[in-house]
Amino acid sequence: MEILNREFPDSSIARIVSDIKQKPELRALDEAFVTELLVKELTQAPKLIDFILKHEPRTLDRSEKYKKLIKSVRAKLRKTYGMFLTKEFRKQKRLLHDLREAVLKTDIPMHAIEKYKALLRTHVSTKERLDIYPELYWKIWEITAKPRKVIDISAGLNPFSFPWMGLNNVDYLATELNKTDVDLLNEYFEFKRFGLYGLAIQLDLQQAIKRPEMLQGLPKSDVCFLFKVLDTLEEFAKGHKASEVLIANVPVRWVVASFPTRTIGGKRSMSSKKRTWIEQMCKRLGYTFKHFVLKNEAFYVIDKQP
Ligand SMILES: C[S@@+](CC[C@H](N)C(=O)[O-])C[C@H]1O[C@@H](n2cnc3c(N)ncnc32)[C@H](O)[C@@H]1O
C-alpha cells in the first residue's frame, strides 16, 4: 500500500491493525475500517511513517511514538463505535439463545419481551431507547403508515425492538459496519418468527457516501431508519454533505432520522432538540418533515415525495 508516496508493506499495516485491536471492546471491529482510520492518521504524520518504516517491529513496539499512534487510533475508534457497547455485550450469544427458546414457544412476540429487552440492553443506543419503544413506532406509523419493507441503516441492535413495531409481515434489511452485529442479527433473522423476514449486511457508510450507487442499489423500501447515525457519520467530515447524500440516495419514500438530545453518559446536553440544517435541507430539496421528541431523542420523519 502506498501512503504519501512511500511504499508501506501490507504486512506492517496488518500488524499495526492487529495491535490496535488488542482490546476486548475493539476485537470485533472490521479490519478494513480500522485500516482506513490508521491510514488517515498516518497521512497526517509523514515523519511517523518514516519512523515506522525505519524500525524493526520489535523495537518499534516499545517506542513512545508507536504507542501514541495506537492510542490515538483506538480513541477515534471508541468515539465512533466502541462507546456504543455496554458491559453486557459479552453475553449476547447466550441471550440470543434464550430469545430463540422463548420465541419458539409462542405466537405472540410480546410474550418474549423480557428476552428481547435483555438483548437491547447490550447496546447503549437501544438501552437508552427502552422506555420510548412502546410509543415510538406508533408515532412513526401515524405519519408514514405501517411499512411492508424497512431498511435500518447502521442498525446496531435496533431490529430486536421488533415486538413494539406491531408489524406481522415485513421485509427488514439491516446494515451495519460491525461484523459481530451483522452475524448476531442474521442468526436472529434465521428464527423466521412473527412475519419478520430479515437480512443483515455489512455496509461502511464512509464508502457508501463516496459511491452513492451502493445506497441506490439497496432494495426499494417504504421506510428507512437512521437512528442516531448522522452524528456518528459527521464525526469524520465537517458539514452535513455526507448526511444529505445518505438521505437523498437511500431508495425509500420515508426517512426517519434521530439524534440524541444529550451526549452519551447523560452529561448536560450540548445538542439541541432541533437540527436546523435538516429543516433547511428539506426545504431546499422539496421534502417535508415532521419532528417530535421522546425522552432524550429527537426524531425527524422526512417525506421525500410530498
Ligand atoms: C449510535 S449507534 C446507533 C445504532 C442504532 N442505529 C440505534 O440507534 O440503536 C451508531 C452505529 O453506527 C455504526 N457505525 C459507526 N461508523 C460507521 C460507518 N462508518 N459505517 C456504518 N456504520 C457505522 C456503529 O457500529 C453503531 O452501531
pLDDT tens by residue, 45-62? 888 888 888 888 778 888
Q: Pocket of ligand 1, candidates 76, 158, 177, 210: which has the most ligand atoms within 8 Å of its Cβ, to mutate?
A: 177
Q: Give the pairing of strands 170-176 and 297-303.
A: unpaired
- Alpha helix locations (H) across the chain? 10-20, 31-43, 46-54, 57-62, 64-80, 92-104, 113-120, 124-129, 133-144, 162-165, 179-189, 205-210, 213-216, 230-234, 241-249, 276-285
Q: Are residues 266 and 197 in contact, defined by beta-carbon separation less than 8 angstroms? A: no
* CB within 8 Å of 192: residues ≥ 6 apart: none
Three-class secondary structure of residue 13 per DSSP: helix
Three-class secondary structure of residue 56 per DSSP: coil
pLDDT tens digits along 102-135: 999 999 999 999 999 999 998 889 999 999 999 9
Q: According to the model, what pLDDT value does residue 88 have?
A: 66
Confidence of residue 294 (pLDDT cuts 50, 70, 90): very high
Report residue 255 CA to chain centroid gap. Answer: 16
Q: How far is the CA of 155 from the centre of ligand 1 (A)?
A: 6
* CB within 8 Å of 67: residues ≥ 6 apart: none
The larger pLDDT score, comparing residue 9 to residue 286, is at: 286
Q: Which of 184-188, 260-264, 267-271 has the highest mean pLDDT?
A: 184-188
Q: Which atom of ligand 1 is nearest to the CA of 152?
A: 6
In terms of Cα–Cα distance, which of 192, 186, 187 is closest to 173?
186
Q: Which atom of ligand 1 is nearest to the CA of 203?
A: 21
How big is the chain, counted in residues? 306
Q: How far is the CA of 66 from the centre of ligand 1 (A)?
A: 28
Q: What is the mean pLDDT of residues 60-72?
A: 90
The larger pLDDT score, comparing residue 106 to residue 27, is at: 106
Residue listed under C-alpha cell 443483515: 200
Q: Which atom of ligand 1 is nearest to the CA of 153?
A: 6
Buried b / exposed e along 57-74 (16+ C-beta atoms within 10 A) = eeebeeeeebeebbebbb
What is the grid cell recorded at 20? Answer: 490496535
The larger pLDDT score, comparing residue 296 to residue 56, is at: 296
Q: Are residues 30 and 204 in contact, defined by beta-carbon separation less than 8 angstroms? A: yes
Q: What is the mean pLDDT of residues 23-33?
A: 78
Position 295 pLDDT exceeds 60: yes
Q: How far is the CA of 229 from the centre of ligand 1 (A)?
A: 6
Q: According to the model, what pLDDT value does residue 219 have?
A: 98
Q: According to the model, what pLDDT value does residue 268 have?
A: 43
**Whole-angstrom Cα distance, residue 198 to residue 96?**
16
Q: Pocket of ligand 1, candidates 36, 81, 158, 179: which has the most ligand atoms within 8 Å of its Cβ, to mutate?
A: 81
Q: Pocket of ligand 1, candidates 124, 175, 229: which has the most ligand atoms within 8 Å of its Cβ, to mutate?
A: 229
Which protein residues touch ligand 1 with a CB less than 6 Å away? 80-81, 84, 125-126, 154-156, 158, 176-178, 203-206, 227-229, 232
pTM of the model: 0.80
Position 83 pLDDT exceeds 70: no
Nearest CA to ligand 1 atom 23: 177
Q: What is the mean pLDDT of residues 20-39?
A: 83
Position 3 pLDDT exceeds 90: no
Report residue 267 CA to chain centroid gap. Answer: 21
Looking at every residue in the chain, the average pLDDT score rounds to 90
Nearest CA to ligand 1 atom 4: 156
Q: How far is the CA of 265 from the centre of ligand 1 (A)?
A: 17
Q: Which of 92-96, 139-143, 145-149, 234-238 has the lowest mean pLDDT?
A: 234-238
**Whole-angstrom Cα distance, residue 300 to residue 289?**
6
113-120 and 92-104 helices cross at what angle (nearest 10)? 160
pLDDT tens digits along 198-249: 999 999 998 999 999 999 999 999 999 999 999 888 876 678 999 999 999 9
Helices first, then strands: H and E counts in the chain = 16, 9
Q: Are residues 158 and 126 in contact, defined by beta-carbon separation less than 8 angstroms? A: yes
Position 85 pLDDT exceeds 70: no
Nearest CA to ligand 1 atom 10: 229
The larger pLDDT score, comparing residue 26 to residue 224, is at: 224
Q: Are residues 147 and 222 in contact, defined by beta-carbon separation less than 8 angstroms? A: yes
Confidence of residue 11 (pLDDT cuts 50, 70, 90): confident
